[in-house]
Structure 1
Amino acid sequence: MFVRDGADWRAVGAYPDATAEEALAYFERKYQDLAGQVTLLEQRVKRAAPAADVAKTVAGLTETLREPAAVGDLQALRDRVAALGGTVESLTEKQNEQAKEQLAEAIAERTAIVTEIEALAAQDLAKIQWKQAGDQVTALFARWQEHQQSGPRLPKGEANELWKRFRTARSHLDSARRSFFAELDATHKDARNRKQALVERAEALIPRGADAIPEYRRLLDEWKQSGRAGRKQDDALWAKFKAAGDAIYQAKAEIDAQENEEYEANLVLKRALLDEAEPILAITDREQARQRLTAIQLRWDEIGRVPRESLRPVEDRLRAIEQHVKQLDDRFWANNNPEKKARSQGLAAQLEQSIAQRETELAEAKERGDAAAIAAAQEALDAQRTWLDALG
């Protein structure tokens, strides 16, 4: 099988035991394979494949197309490959610029990660929230690893310097975090021991029943000052401490229930006594009201205690009656205060004298027919009569 290659014919090979058409088809397929490689390379150049790879492929195809065992327009393939070879230099320059930009962006991104963790490490670590800070450190390290794997390779010197800064900040945070939790564990252990002791003391009070309530309340005050022992430990210890308190207060509740049953009869008597006493609210005679109230109060004390939940309502009803009698006393003594009475009598005498003078002035003004003088005298006379009535 021969092919015209330029001005000459060149043997490309033989295909034994086949027809001429079969042999031609075979070498044409060889040509199509080469054309496919050239087309693929052209597409890679359009997609901005690495220039070094393109140059290597161009060189390989150039050598392959020198005298290929194929039938077709070989020169056209050589021209297409040669044209691609001319783009390698510009492609290399463009990709170098892109690589520089990507490297600058990668350095900036990794520096930002380092700056963020350094800012975290520069905080007042005595006030930092370690749960949140720990999550931040983990997230920053994950970003570092992802950037290291997917981003461009940084120059060794810069990469090492950034990693050294990142590692230093992370080590500082990890060390402070371990110290914090070690101290927290010690604090929790101390609080746990104190609360365990309080639980034991509270449980020891149970046999004393209601009499132990004051002591249990003191233990409760100590509990509030004993600090945190960790959520699980706190919940478990509190359940035991509260169970002891419930047992103590249950004993008190049983006593109260028994007492309330005994006091129900007293409540009935006191309510009846209040019904008898409340008509005092309508009495205006101080002596009569005081005598009746005193008799009620004596009988009230003799009856005794009432159930706790009913104490306030019955006491309020009695207080209302006592307040009424007190107001009668206050009003009596206000009206019968010797000093005040003397002052009132002296002022009354002065007012009566002034009223007589005003009446004379009014009569004289009427004789003269002086309307202005009549009005002034009448106004002064009315005011002084009002004052005199108030003193009476």
Structure 2
Amino acid sequence: MSSDPWGRVDETGTVYVRSADGSEREVGSWKAGSPDEALAYFKRKYDGLVVEIGLLERRVKTTDLSAKDAMTAIEHLREQVTDAHAIGDLEALGKRLDKLVESVEARREERKVQKAKQSDEARHSKEALVVEAEELAQSEQWRAAGERLRALVDTWKGLPRLDRKSDDELWHRFSHARSAFSKRRKAHFASLDAQREEARKTKEKLVAEAESLSNSTDWGATAARYRDLMTDWKAAGRAQREHEDDLWNRFRGAQDVFFAARSAVFAERDAEQGENLKLKEVLADEAEKLLPIGDLKSARAAFRSINERWEAIGHVPRDARPKVEGRMHTVERAIQESEEAEWRRTNPEARARAEGLTGQLQAAVDKLSGQVEQARTQGNNAKADKLQRELDGRQALLDQAVKGLHEFGG
């Protein structure tokens, strides 16, 4: 018979494992070799259990193994230890498994507390995002508020989910705020478009009447009507940019026809018109002092005052009119361009188009630059020169697009 502190093999080849209290349990039999070989074999089985328990201990300690999976693995190993056909201190292995259970439970509680803390932090963060979004929903800073709302969406996506009910309620408020802002912005720009369309229709009618009066010889009444039409023109507001200049040229052209005819009839008024020219040159000097445009509101009000005095003066000699009126129109155009620049800065759709065009042109320039360099490297100077000319053209377009994009403040 051969024995070990934790087991023995009797004379019949039966193998027993011994517990700390001295009790024994049969774990197998051995007929093929010596008792020492039998003990070594069943000790290796015990060593295998030791390795498995050690691996599980490391997994629990160093990985994110879930408590559920850890407990399942522990119970599986406990069954193996309980029924183990092995020789060794099986009770010690059981105690190690007990300690591992305590570790898993402690870790479960730790994760529970951590998860609750993260959930609470996420709730506060999302509530803060909702409050800010609801404030932004009332903003009229269309570009800045729109960009901030998009940034809030990205922040939201990076936060963990709450319980379904809370998360859905907060998201509903957040989404509703974004929708409300989008509707208000869309309505704002739709209103601007509608106002410009209404101005276009009004000015079409004014142009038609102005053109119908251009051949009138009722000098006084027609001149008075032209003044009324000019007042109505100014009150109508600006039409779309692509229509405004054409309508103005037609409107002004009709007046020019009439007043040119009247000037021919009243040639004796040349002296008076000479005095008018001096007065208008003074007003043109005053108007030009408004350049460059700084405070748009003040400049607009000052120019309106100057223009009212200008209109009250009357006509100037025909050959002097283009120059002096051109000076005033230069100032008026500068004010109009400032107004258009201000409007464009609030038009995110136009900015997006400008950015898209700039990106496309930049890509084309980069591609052509590479092709020119490749052609030079290959010694194909004719091809390189042709590509360089095309590159120069695209670069000029890109420079113009970048300049336009800068008008948006970008």
Task: Provide TM-score, normalisation by structure 2.
Answer: 0.43
Compare the two structures and name the one with the higher helix fraction: 1
Query: Whose radius of gyration is greater, 1 or 2?
Result: 1
